[in-house]
Chains A and B, each alone.
Chain A
C-alpha cells in the first residue's frame, strides 16, 4: 500500500479536536432550539389570515429553503460585514443556522398543525380555553409528536451543516481539523477521525432526542 497512516499525530492533538467537537455540538443544539421556537411562530404566522405576518413568514421560508447554506453563512459574515455589522464567526454561523432551521421547520410545523383537525380548536374554544391555552395544551403536544422524526432529521442536518463554519474561520470541528492537519499534512488521518467524531455526535443527539421523546410522548412516536 502506498500511503502509510500516522495516527499518533492525531491522538496528540485530541484535546483540541474534542474542543472543536464541543463547539460543533454547542452551536447546532442552540441553533436547533432557537430554530424550533421561531419556526412555531412562523408557522402560526403563515397560517394566519393577517397579510403582513403571512408575508414575512413566506419570504423567510422561501429564502431559507431555496438558497444554499454556504451562501447564507457567507452572507451572515461577509455580507453583513459590508454594511458595517460585524458578527463574530460563532454568531454568524449560529444566526445562519437558526435562519435555515427556522425556514425548513416552519413548513414541517405547518404540516403538523394542519394535520390536527380544526374541530379540536373549536371544541377547546367552546370549553372556554384561550387561543394560547388551546395551542399549549391541545394542538402543540399532538403536533410535536407527529413531526418528531422530520424534526430530528433537521437536527442532524444542522450538526453536519455547522461544518460550513470553516468558511468564516469558526474553530468548530472542521475548522480545527483543517488547522491541525496543515501543521503535519496528515490530512487523511485527521479527516477520518473528524468524520468518526461527527458520526458519534449525531448518534448521541439522535439517542438523546429519542430518550427525550419517550419521556415527553410516553413512547408513542
Chain B
C-alpha cells in the first residue's frame, strides 16, 4: 500500500516538474491573457456587481495590470483557501486577494510590496453594546476560516484565556455575515472596509461597527509563485506606478467614495 501511495505522490511530482518554469512574465505576455485571482465575496475589494460581473478594487487592479502588460484579463473567483493552490496549480498568475504578508506565509509564496492596509474590526448587533475588544469575552464570535483576522482573534482569545468554545469558523466571508445576521453568533471579526460596505445595506441596519482588533494593521500584498522573482519585480513596479500615476487613488475613490487617506498612501510608499 505504501508503495502504491508513493507512486501516486511521485506521479504528482513528475507532472509538476514537466512544466519547467519559463519566466512567468514571458508566459503571460506570450499567452496574451493574465489569469488574475480575486476573492469575490469581499466587497468592496472584490464582489459581483448587479450584472453578475466581477467588480471591486482588486478587480480594477487586475484590469490595470493586464492593460500595462498589453494582454486580456481573466478574473478567477477564489475563496480564501483557494489562493495558494490556484498559484501552485498554475491556474492563476497572480492573486490580488488582500493577502496578509506574514513571514510564515512568505516561506511558501512570493509577496509583493504592500498594496493596501486594513484594520480588523468587530461588527455586532447594536444591542450587544460592545465598547472594547475585551467585551467579546462572553459573546459568541465568528470569522471566515483561514483569514488573518481569524488567526488574530484566536491568538488574542488564547492570550486572555477565553478558550475557543465561543468561536465559530465560517467557510467564507458571506457565510460569516449570514451567521451574524441569523444570530448564530453575536459578533464577527471582519475588515473595516467590508463592514462599512455591509452597514450600508438594509439587512444590517440593526448592527454597528465595534472596536478594532488591538495593535494590528493588516498589511496585504499581491502573491505569486515564490520562485518567480522577475515577475514579482514587475508586480512591485506596477504597484509603485499605481500610486505614482494616480490609479490607486482613482480605484479608491470609485469603491470607497473618497480620496485615499494620506497616511494609507504614505505607508504604502514606505512599504509598510
Kindly state whether residue B107 has any CB partner on chain A within 8 Å: yes
Interchain CB contact (< 8 A) of B108 among A6, A82, A175: A6
- B-side contacts of A89, CB under 8 Å: 168
Bound together, the chains give a CA A167 to CA B170 distance in angstroms of 7
Q: How many residues of A contact B (CB 8 A)?
A: 28
Interchain CB contact (< 8 A) of B145 among A1, A2, A175, A185: A175
Is A2's CB under 8 angstroms from B21's CB?
A: yes
Select the residue from A2, A3, A84 with max chain B CB neighbours within 10 A: A2
Known A-B contacts A168-B171, A169-B171, A187-B88; A181 and B81 likewise in contact (beta carbons under 8 Å): yes
Interchain CB contact (< 8 A) of A86 among B13, B16, B184: B184
Kindly state whether residue B214 has any CB partner on chain A within 8 Å: no
Interchain CB contact (< 8 A) of A192 among B9, B85, B179: B9
Kindly state whether residue A78 has any CB partner on chain B within 8 Å: yes
Q: How far is the CB of A16 from chain B (nearest CB, A)?
A: 11
- By size class, the interface of chain B is 35 or more
Chain B window 172-191, contacts with chain A (Cβ cutoff 8 Å), 1 for yes, 0 for no = 00010011001110000000
Kindly state whether residue A184 has any CB partner on chain B within 8 Å: yes
Kindly state whether residue B142 has any CB partner on chain A within 8 Å: yes
Is B81's CB under 8 angstroms from A178's CB?
A: yes
Is A185's CB under 8 angstroms from B105's CB?
A: yes
Interchain CB contact (< 8 A) of A178 among B105, B108, B145, B168: B145
Is B146's CB under 8 angstroms from A179's CB?
A: yes
When C-beta atoms are compared, the residue in chain A nearest to B14 turns out to be A1
Is B145's CB under 8 angstroms from A184's CB?
A: no
Kindly state whether residue B136 has any CB partner on chain A within 8 Å: no
Q: How far is the CB of B78 from chain A (nearest CB, A)?
A: 12
B-contacting residues, A177-198, CB 8 Å: 178-179, 181-188, 192, 196
Q: How far is the CB of A12 from chain B (nearest CB, A)?
A: 11
- A-side contacts of B231, CB under 8 Å: none
Q: How far is the CB of B255 from chain A (nearest CB, A)?
A: 25
Binding site for A on B (CB under 8 A): 5, 9, 13, 16-17, 19-21, 80-81, 84-85, 88, 102, 104-105, 107-109, 142, 145-147, 150-151, 168-171, 175, 178-179, 182-184, 225, 227
CB-CB nearest 9 A-B residue pairs: A182-B146, A185-B108, A169-B169, A81-B182, A1-B17, A185-B84, A185-B105, A187-B84, A184-B104
Binding site for B on A (CB under 8 A): 1-3, 6, 78, 81-82, 84, 86, 89, 166-169, 171, 175, 178-179, 181-188, 192, 196
Pairs across A and B, CB under 8 Å, 10 listed: A2-B16, A2-B20, A3-B13, A78-B178, A168-B170, A175-B145, A182-B151, A184-B107, A185-B108, A192-B9
Apart from A2-B16, A181-B84, what 6 extra A-B contacts exist at CB < 8 Å?
A1-B13, A3-B13, A3-B88, A6-B107, A178-B81, A184-B108
